[in-house]
Homo-oligomer: A and B are copies of this chain.
Amino acid sequence: MNTTATSISRTTRAAARGHSREQILKSGRELIAGRGFNATGLDAILKAAGVPKGSFYHYFASKEDFGLAVIDDFAQQYAEHLNGFLSDKTLAPLERVRRFMESGIESLGSCQCARGCLLGDLGQELAAQNESFRVRIDRVFQSWKRKFADCFEEARAAGDLHVHSDPDKLAEFFLAGWEGALLRAKVAKSVQPLKDFTELFFAGVLKP
Residues in chain A within 8 A of chain B (CB atoms): 34-36, 38-39, 113-116, 120-121, 123-125, 127-129, 134, 137-138, 141, 169-170, 172-173, 175-181, 183-184, 186-189, 192-193, 196-197, 199-201, 204-205
For the complex formed, measure the closest distance between the CB of A175 and the CB atoms of chain B, giving whole angstroms.
6
For the complex formed, measure the closest distance between the CB of A89 and the CB atoms of chain B, giving whole angstroms.
27
Grouping DSSP codes into helix (H, G, I), strand (E, B) and loop, the A interface class, with mixed when no group exceeds half, is helix
Q: Which residue of B lies closest to A199 (CB)?
A: B169
Looking at the complex, which one of B141, B180, B184, B192 makes contact with A181 (CB distance below 8 Å)?
A: B180
Q: Which residue of B lies closest to A137 (CB)?
A: B187
A183 and B179 within 8 A (CB): yes
Q: If A35-B129, A36-B125, A200-B170 touch, does A176 touch B186 (CB 8 Å cutoff)?
A: no
Q: If A35-B129, A121-B124 touch, does A172 touch B187 (CB 8 Å cutoff)?
A: no
B183 and A120 within 8 A (CB): yes
Looking at the complex, which one of B116, B128, B181, B201 makes contact with A115 (CB distance below 8 Å)?
A: B128
- Residues of chain B within 8 A of A205, CB atoms compared: 200, 204-205
A124 and B127 within 8 A (CB): no
Beyond A36-B38, A39-B39, A178-B180, 15 additional contacts (C-beta under 8 Å) are: A35-B129, A36-B36, A38-B38, A120-B183, A123-B186, A123-B187, A124-B186, A127-B186, A138-B187, A173-B197, A175-B193, A177-B177, A179-B183, A180-B181, A180-B183
Looking at the complex, which one of B141, B176, B197 makes contact with A197 (CB distance below 8 Å)?
A: B176
B169 and A138 within 8 A (CB): no
- Residues of chain B within 8 A of A128, CB atoms compared: 34, 113-115, 186
- Residues of chain B within 8 A of A201, CB atoms compared: 173
For the complex formed, measure the closest distance between the CB of A171 and the CB atoms of chain B, giving whole angstroms.
9
